[in-house]
A and B are shown apart, each in its own frame.
Chain A
Amino acid sequence: MLVTTPTEETLRTGGIELSIVKGGSGKPLLMLHDELGYPGWMTWNERLAEQRTLLIPLQPGFGKTPRLDWISNYRDLAGFYSRMLREQRLDPVDVIAFSAGGFVAAEMIAADPRIFRRMVLVAPMGLKPESGEILDFLALTMRSHLRATVADPVNTPEFAKIYGGEMTPAQFEAFEDARTETARLGWDPYMYNPSLPHLLEGLNVPTLLVRGTRDGVVPRGCIDAYQNVLKEAQVAAIEGAGHRSEIENAPEFVRVVKNFLRD
């Protein structure tokens, strides 16, 4: 049962009003959502919010926060969020980042190794996979894209919260906004930055890489690429989960993340 009622507020940074969702109590935990946007408050949020205050900025251009014309790649977006943390005096902070959000977090730490105390990167993009390819979800209809994010849509109850099968015009527009902004930032090179591994190499920020063993979006090769440059990173493989292990196996996901973020 979900008891936390997250709030949404705005804060002024980088010349715009950034919408940010907040929920829970305790030390702040920055959450960077994925390329389809903040999917709503789920069981895993609730469990982590028992001990942490989740801060979830809603990416510029994804419908709520206005788009910033000068943000044209993920490094720019990382700079924007870094500025926000600096201005809000939130750094250093722990971060949990998903998929393209993981790309952003990696760019942030590459630019400023002190910005995060600990990083949880869930199925992160950002590095060219050692093997395999990042799924070209921009060449799929949004329905196929959504379905590709979980290994077993029928048996993933919280997937219905994101996408219940029908799509209202408002949902359609929100997903299109997100996919458009994702195309703008990540089209070429596709969802990675060739210079990023060279800037990450040798950093020793405590890092947990979470992957679903049936991830159809981000291949194992991306995790390998992160491990190649962040030698100390731990890997948690969630058996049978796809790209959204946080909802596909929330108990296991919460267990490994809580264990990692334990003080």
Chain B
Amino acid sequence: MQIGYFTERPYRWVPEDEVLKNQAFFGVSNRFFDPQKGSEDYNYYLDEACYAEQLGFDAVALNEHHGTPFCMGSVMNVEAAILARITSKVRIVLVGNPLPVIKHPLRMAEELAEIDLISRGRLVAGWVRGAGSEQFFNNANPAYNREYFNEAHDFIIQAWTRPGPWRYEGKHFRYRHVNPWALPLQKPYPPMWIPGVLSLETVKWCAEHRYPYIGLGTALGPTCDLWDYYADEAAKLGYQAGPENFGYLVPTFLAETEEKAQEIGKGFAFGGGQAAFSRPEHTLPPGYNSRDATRRLARQPGGSWLGVSADKLRQGSAERKDATDYDEVRKKLVGSYQKAQKAYQIVVGTPKTVLPKIKTLMEVLRPGIFVVFSVQGPVSNEDRMTSMRLFGQEVMPALRDYAKEIGLRDPIERKPGSVALNSGISRIPVVERGPLAPLGLT
């Protein structure tokens, strides 16, 4: 099993009331950005990645978001390039580069090749469509999001594998002279892991490309459904999906005492947490979802996608019931934080209480990649590092043993899609739903 460390690299100094007033992180004015604090944070987060390597994590994962204090990684490849040089063992996993909003796949191919070369072959490339808000920030047409994504991905593979120079005339991208001099060290190109929040289309695409799909803290029942869907698609393509095809990232925070862990863990709900990443009108711009996905959303009013439901989309933009009582809002957020813990979507506690919970996650989802997502909110460097140390020293070794015991092979050990499934043979299960019923999580 590959065990990774991930943080959104939150800007920890934004007043929470500003986020609550804005009803989201995206859109909070950058007049609340203090360059001095930002400078310290960027350096600290790089140090934190080095500490993860020191603790024995297999990977450090980076992501990219734009225009938000939720995540300071606005140009993730810059951080990846630095880590390529200042670390020596960990895989540098990008979850992922938002191809449709960067809109320059040739440049992307060059940047990633450099990172792979400088890291001496430790890059794991990953791709995302970019959050809805990113389409606005980067003025990327959301109606072409999926087309940009597919074309950019296919182009990058070509740029890395087809000797140049050649000319490219695509639908959305055109290049006169494709001949990137620096090519990745890993052959034919770096592995690719694809993160997501349960888009059927993305899961199908992953199955077709035999890429591991990493669920980003998604609810367990629907995650099982989707991994079954991946495995069914894989079976149609003639292979048996296994742990090497799946990853799971979960918010995790540890402290020396349960009380302290619970108190600091509330940072996951800071400002509204993940559900307040952006307001509905920014989360799902027109055309960002496929027509089928829009239909599914329209017909399931209660169903939600990153905190967005058809009901919310039917509401006005930035409508609010109470614009001033933030303490009341905060109380509700604490309630949602506790609910998320019961649903195993946030894991908080001491090594003793955290370990069995993560074991349950591993038993149910059987991922070959497991990524710890460190706490959000204004948490001190010391507390963040204590959490990492407790996980690294007191949880990780037992998890590795458990993964071995239940056969969780990772995508480095076994190439995803390499286990053939002969026609007429039923695929074997990829998830174990048994533990969900007693937890009320089916």
Contacts and interface: CB of A to CB of B under 8 A. Distances in A.
Contacts, number: 72
Interface stretch (A1-9, A175-183, A254-262): A175-183
Contacts of B440: none
A142 B314 contact: yes
Contact of A139 (B281, B291, B310, B315): B281
Contact of B136 (A139, A143, A182): A139
Given A139-B282, A141-B314, A181-B143, 4 more contacts: A144-B316, A180-B286, A180-B294, A181-B287
B298 interface: yes
B294 A183 contact: no
Contact of B294 (A141, A176, A184): A176
Interface string A154-180: 000000000000010100110011011
Report, as a range, how many residues of chain B touch the other chain: 20 to 34
B282 A180 contact: no
Interface in B311-353: 312-317
B143 A184 contact: yes
A16 interface: no
Contacts of B314: 141-143, 167, 172
19 contacts: A139-B136, A141-B280, A141-B313, A141-B316, A143-B314, A143-B316, A167-B314, A169-B295, A169-B299, A173-B295, A173-B298, A176-B294, A176-B298, A177-B291, A179-B286, A180-B287, A183-B287, A187-B142, A188-B139
Contacts of B287: 179-181, 183-184
B285 interface: yes
B302 to A, nearest CB: 13
B141 A187 contact: yes
- Say whether chain B's binding surface is mostly helix, strand, loop, or mixed: helix
B298 A169 contact: yes
A139 B137 CA distance: 11
B293 to A, nearest CB: 10
A179 B299 CA distance: 18
Contact of A141 (B141, B281, B298, B299): B281
B281 A172 contact: no
Contact of B143 (A139, A143, A167, A183): A183
Q: Closest 7 A-B residue pairs measured CB to CB?
A: A179-B286, A180-B287, A184-B143, A144-B317, A187-B141, A169-B298, A183-B143
Contacts of A187: 139, 141-143
B313 A142 contact: yes
A34 B215 CA distance: 40
B166 interface: no
A11 interface: no
